[in-house]
Structure 1
Amino acid sequence: MRIETRTSDDLLIITPLDNRIDASIAPDFKGHIMNWINEGNIRILLDLYHVEFIDSSGLSVLVSTLKALGGKGDFMLCSICDTVMNLFRLTRMDRIFKIYPSVEEALKAIKGNNKPE
């Protein structure tokens, strides 16, 4: 799995470069995220700009990340395409995660303490 990361203040921004988060890469992806959390990254923004498909294994990774933070950090999502957003709405995950239209909008909201869209 190809992943880019960068930081903005104390926020880790994770950008998967593959267009799918499915059973074939979910365990590897989860391992990376858990390592970052164990290294002390508790404010995470997942930029899904390149992702066009997420299956149940991918959703499980997202939920596991939220649980691993245990309310002691933030896990936010951004740049979600319509197909993936439809899945989030169908599974009601759009009510669980803070979702922003773009990295820039997420950063503005975080700094301004605005609510996600």
Structure 2
Amino acid sequence: MSLTSTATETTKIITVHAARIDAAMAIQFKEDMRTQAADGPARVILDLSAVEFIDSSGLGAIVASMKQLGSGRKLDLAGLTPTVDKVFRLTRMDTVFNLFASLDDAIATEVG
């Protein structure tokens, strides 16, 4: 699993460089997210634009990553492909996360 991150004063952007977040990758994803998001601004944007498939394990790993951030920090999701977006909406996770069509949309929106 390859994740990279950049940070501004108000936001840390973590980009996923993998086509899948599934059972085979979920544990590594959580560890990599913990490392990438260990410190930094209160808002974290997870750029999922390269992810074409996510299963329940991947969804659970993203939820676990949100919980690892702790109180006072927020995880927003950006660049969801139609298939990934559908998984988040069918599981009602769109009520837990702010979903943005693109990374640019997420960056342009200040979320309180």
TM-score (structure 2 length as normaliser) = 0.88
Q: Report 1:49-64 matches (<5 A).
A: 49-64=49-64
Q: Report 1:88-107 matches (<5 A).
A: 88-107=88-107
CA distance in 1 between partners of 2:36 and 2:50 (Å): 21
CA distance in 2 between partners of 1:104 and 1:13 (Å): 11
Root mean square deviation of aligned Cα: 1.8
Displacement of 1:8: 2.5
TM-score (structure 1 length as normaliser) = 0.85
List structure 1 runs of 4+ shifted beyond 6 angstroms. Answer: none
CA distance in 2 between partners of 1:48 and 1:10 (Å): 20
> Could you say which residue in structure 1 is the equivalent of 2:29?
29
- Judged with a 3 Å threshold, the aligned counterparts in structure 2 of structure 1 residues 41 and 109 are, in CA distance, closer, same or farther, namely closer
Name structure 1 gaps, 5 residues minimum: none
> Could you say which residue in structure 2 is the equivalent of 1:83?
83
Q: Number of paired residues? A: 112
Name structure 2 gaps, 5 residues minimum: none
Displacement of 1:41: 5.3
